[in-house]
Amino acid sequence: MTHAVVFDLDGVLLDSEQVWDDVREQLARERGGRWHANAQREMMGMSSIEWSRYMHDELGLGESPEEISAEVVRRMEQAYSERLPLIDGGREAVERLAARWPLGLASSSNRELIDLALEVGRLARFFRVTVSSEEVARGKPAPDVYLEAARRLAVQPGRCVAIEDSRNGIRAAKAAGMRVVAIPNPHFPPDDATLELADVTLTSLAELSPSTVA
């Protein structure tokens, strides 16, 4: 029986993976880094501590990871303030599920970006708890951010349903013991083996209903 629902943010409610990709690629190229085609896919799900270290160590940016993270967040905040890439049907899907269950959010985004996105998107009031992976020990695909969301909701992970789009996100939620509704990211789709882990796979948020979750 479902007692709570936990959403991912990037790729589920926001069409933002491409924004992250563009911002980090532009910064890497500006600073003489070694950007490559798989960089974004490898960073998906990482916490800010992990991906900023990746950009320093693997992509060769000279700034410290802390400086890299701060600059990426600054640019993302500017992008969100100019236009929040809310996916069509996102607000309606959140409202439908919030009318029946307490909602949590488990995101790899920085805390500042989570709060800004929910405020600009007028979604903050629907979420009882929000967790950034920078607030736990490990980012996705480790289960930490989902386990922390369940803890803050005071619900056993096995009684939670996660809404996810990516390989690392689906694997993180399953590792936490949650059931998973997958809505594959069209830009960075999860592999078939990962999709087989999902309990339900949908094509869009329009299909996300209380009956599907229940």
Whether residue 188 is predicted with pLDDT greater than 90 in this model: the reply is: no
pLDDT of residue 44: 82
Catalytic, out of 10, 15, 21, 165: 10
Task: Grade residue 186 by pLDDT with cuts at 50, 70 and 90.
Answer: confident
Catalytic, out of 8, 15, 144, 165: 8
- Domain with residue 78: its CATH number is 1.10.150
User: Domain limits at 201?
Assistant: 4-15+86-213
pLDDT of residue 37: 86
Kindly state whether residues 70 and 109 are assigned to the same domain: no
- Domain with residue 163: its CATH number is 3.40.50.1000
**Separation of alpha carbons 204 and 157, rounded Å:** 24
pLDDT of residue 171: 97
* 8 noted as active-site residue: yes
pLDDT of residue 182: 98
**Separation of alpha carbons 107 and 41, rounded Å:** 16
Whether residue 87 is predicted with pLDDT greater than 90 in this model: the reply is: yes
Q: CB-based contacts of 55: which residues, under 8 Å, 6+ apart?
A: 24, 27, 28, 33, 43, 61, 65, 68
- Average pLDDT in the 136-150 region? 96
Kindly state whether residues 141 and 91 are assigned to the same domain: yes
What number of residues does the chain have?
Answer: 214
Kindly state whether residues 147 and 163 are assigned to the same domain: yes
pLDDT of residue 178: 98
Kindly state whether residues 73 and 52 are assigned to the same domain: yes
**Separation of alpha carbons 104 and 116, rounded Å:** 16
User: pLDDT tens for residues 28-80?
Assistant: 999 999 999 889 888 987 888 899 999 999 999 999 999 999 999 999 999 99
pLDDT of residue 187: 83
Task: Grade residue 104 by pLDDT with cuts at 50, 70 and 90.
Answer: very high
Whether residue 102 is predicted with pLDDT greater than 90 in this model: the reply is: yes
